[in-house]
């Protein structure tokens, strides 16, 4: 695999990609360079030149997932709906291996800009970035409202967005659960945590989470089981379908600077569709653009320089304490997402009789699956990029996304209370 080769011999991988792009598009490829990109967890991207023009490419290839249905790069769906999207000039969508080629731009990706602003003292730049986020979400809301329609279970099943969630929980050939990344990353593995603590899957899976002093409703295994049941593609047809990008985390968004205000523009719509289950459309961006930052998901190697975490396993409880929290910038982005998309969107679904009673669980499941299935959060057996501190932070964030505390509240539960369509906190109903 070219993506795996790039981890060990980037020059050899660049040579293979040069040959591949030449064969796919009949282009003379010059000076191809792969970016060392922390955001491209399952893909490669970079630049090359051809016949005097400069290009940006994105190459997606996943080991062990070739049997899963291919991604469909349907930027035209988004463009026709009026969403800002960069159209590729060349594309290939072979099963298990897809390539997009864009005209090279000077704009930064929104993810790179925000990474710099997380620790910068630049209130003007932060305000412009948050305004651009709010404007995009106004646009997303308008498109969602205009495109909302009932969908059948079969229409939901056909949408490629399920590759991000349900299909990573199961064996792609047999449908067996547990399977896919869930089994490969966690089931039966040993977990290495701060202080030299090692736990088995059986211990960590069934433990009752206690995070920063708050006890939570669901264990790690309970939320994975619930995810397998509720995220069956057919089951997610109950809230209708919309036109959506589906994977619009900020590494798939250009930041276009303007004189008066700045603008965001999508690219790489690998999971775009016209029947995207309405509660899934903005789940992954909500998590990855806010709760994955600062540092812990994408820059695990430097987490321990800024944050601390401790873990204890006592009386069947997984007790995690950490000083990590989203930056003020990320909290501002979350507020913009809540006010400009989630709250009015849930109100609209409810007004149309299309909001399921368990909508909060549906969204929480997506927030939980976004980090746990995009990469291996286990720092122990089979570890990829994580270390004990970043693993502990990751597990704490994922588990707090999965369910409410039994008593008290946290940032994620406060978010859900702020977007509740009837304004009534769920704890008042229990």
pLDDT for residue 427 is more than 50: no
Q: What is the pLDDT of residue 424?
A: 55
Q: Chain-centre distance of CA 32, in angstroms? A: 28
| Residue written as token pair 């593995």 | 189
Q: What is the pLDDT of residue 81?
A: 96
Express each pLDDT in 153-183 by its tens digit: 999 999 999 999 999 999 989 999 999 999 9
430 versus 384: which is more confidently predicted?
384
pLDDT for residue 185 is more than 80: yes
Query: How big is the chain by its Cα radius of gyration, in Å?
Result: 21
Residue range 227-231: average pLDDT?
A: 98
Q: What is the pLDDT of residue 62?
A: 56
Express each pLDDT in 133-160 by its tens digit: 999 999 999 999 999 999 999 999 999 9
53 versus 7: which is more confidently predicted?
53
d(CA 119, CA 144): 33
| Residue written as token pair 């990855």 | 288
Triad 397, 398, 404: Cα angle to 5°: 85
d(CA 384, CA 379): 7
d(CA 98, CA 286): 25
pLDDT for residue 72 is more than 70: no
Domain 2-103 -> CATH class: alpha beta
153: part of which helix (H) or strand (E)? Answer: helix 153-157
| Residue written as token pair 């970016």 | 35
What band does 115 get if pLDDT is binned at 50, 70 and 90?
very high
d(CA 292, CA 394): 8
Q: DSSP 3-state assignment of 190?
A: strand
> What contacts 310, CB < 8 A, 6 or more positions away?
194, 195, 320, 321, 322, 392
Q: What is the pLDDT of residue 384?
A: 84
d(CA 250, CA 330): 12
User: What are the distances in angstroms from CA 313 to CA 321, 382, 411?
Assistant: 12, 21, 24
| Mean pLDDT, rounded, of the chain | 93
Q: DSSP 3-state assignment of 253?
A: strand
> What does the DSSP 8-state code read for residue 164?
G
Residue range 100-117: average pLDDT?
A: 95
Residue spans per domain, the chain = 2-103, 110-429
pTM of the model: 0.90
Express each pLDDT in 351-392 by its tens digit: 999 999 999 999 999 999 999 999 999 999 988 889 999 999
Residue range 108-127: average pLDDT?
A: 96
According to DSSP, the β-strands at 317-322 and 208-211 are: parallel
d(CA 357, CA 359): 6
> What does the DSSP 8-state code read for residue 271?
T
Residue range 204-208: average pLDDT?
A: 98
Q: List phi, psi (to 5°) of 173.
A: -95, -40
Q: What is the pLDDT of residue 401?
A: 98
Q: What is the pLDDT of residue 96?
A: 61
pLDDT for residue 68 is more than 50: no
Express each pLDDT in 266-280 by its tens digit: 998 888 999 999 999
What band does 39 get if pLDDT is binned at 50, 70 and 90?
confident
Residue 123 contacts residue 326 (beta carbons within 8 Å): no
193: part of which helix (H) or strand (E)? Answer: strand 190-193
Q: List phi, psi (to 5°) of 183.
A: -70, -40
d(CA 413, CA 117): 26
Nearest residue to 359 (alpha-carbon basis) of 238, 217, 229, 234: 238
Residue range 95-106: average pLDDT?
A: 84
**For the ranges 2-11, 185-194, 224-233, which has the lowest average pLDDT?**
2-11
Q: What is the pLDDT of residue 6?
A: 81
For 168-326, where are the alpha helices, taking DSSP H only?
Answer: 180-185, 201-206, 220-230, 283-286, 303-306
d(CA 380, CA 72): 35
d(CA 405, CA 169): 25
Q: List phi, psi (to 5°) of 377.
A: -85, -5
Q: What is the pLDDT of residue 1?
A: 76
């Amino acid at each position: 695999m070219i993506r795996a080769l790039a981890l060990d011999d980037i020059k050899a991988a660049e040579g293979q990609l040069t040959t591949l792009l030449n064969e796919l598009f009949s282009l003379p490829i010059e000076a191809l360079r792969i970016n060392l990109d922390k955001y491209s967890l399952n893909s490669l991207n970079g630049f090359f030149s051809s016949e005097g023009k400069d290009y940006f490419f994105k190459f997606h290839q996943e080991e062990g997932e070739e049997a899963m249905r291919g991604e469909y790069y349907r930027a035209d769906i988004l463009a026709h709906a009026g969403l800002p999207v960069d159209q590729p000039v060349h594309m290939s969508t072979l099963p298990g291996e897809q390539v997009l080629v864009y005209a090279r731009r000077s704009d930064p990706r929104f993810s790179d800009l925000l990474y710099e602003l997380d620790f910068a003292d630049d209130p003007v730049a932060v305000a412009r970035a948050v305004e651009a986020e709010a404007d995009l979400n106004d646009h997303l809301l308008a498109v969602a409202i205009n495109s909302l329609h009932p969908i059948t279970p079969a229409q939901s099943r056909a949408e490629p967005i399920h590759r991000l969630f349900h299909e990573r929980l199961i064996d792609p050939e047999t449908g067996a659960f547990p399977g896919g990344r869930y089994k490969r990353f966690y089931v039966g593995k040993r977990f290495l945590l701060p202080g030299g603590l090692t736990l088995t899957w059986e211990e960590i899976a069934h433990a009752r989470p206690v995070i920063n002093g708050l006890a939570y409703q669901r264990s790690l295994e309970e939320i994975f089981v619930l995810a397998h049941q509720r995220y069956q593609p057919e089951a997610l047809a109950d809230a209708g379908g919309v036109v959506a990008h589906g994977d619009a985390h900020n590494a798939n968004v250009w930041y276009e600077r303007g004189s008066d205000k700045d603008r965001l523009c999508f690219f790489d719509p690998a999971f775009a569709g016209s029947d995207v289950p309405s509660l899934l459309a903005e789940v992954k961006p909500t998590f990855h653009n806010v709760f994955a930052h600062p540092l812990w998901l994408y820059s695990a190697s430097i987490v321990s320089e800024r944050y601390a975490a401790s873990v204890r396993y006592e009386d069947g409880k997984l007790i995690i304490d950490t000083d990590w929290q989203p930056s003020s910038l990320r909290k501002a982005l979350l507020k913009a997402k809540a006010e400009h998309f989630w709250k009015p969107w849930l109100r609209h679904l409810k007004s149309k009789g299309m909001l399921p009673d368990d909508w909060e669980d549906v969204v929480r499941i997506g927030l939980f699956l976004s980090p746990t299935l995009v990469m291996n959060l286990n720092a122990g057996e089979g570890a990829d990029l994580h270390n004990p501190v970043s693993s502990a932070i990751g597990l704490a964030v994922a588990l707090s996304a999965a369910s409410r505390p039994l008593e008290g509240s946290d940032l994620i539960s406060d978010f859900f209370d702020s977007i509740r369509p009837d304004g009534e906190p769920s704890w008042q109903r229990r």
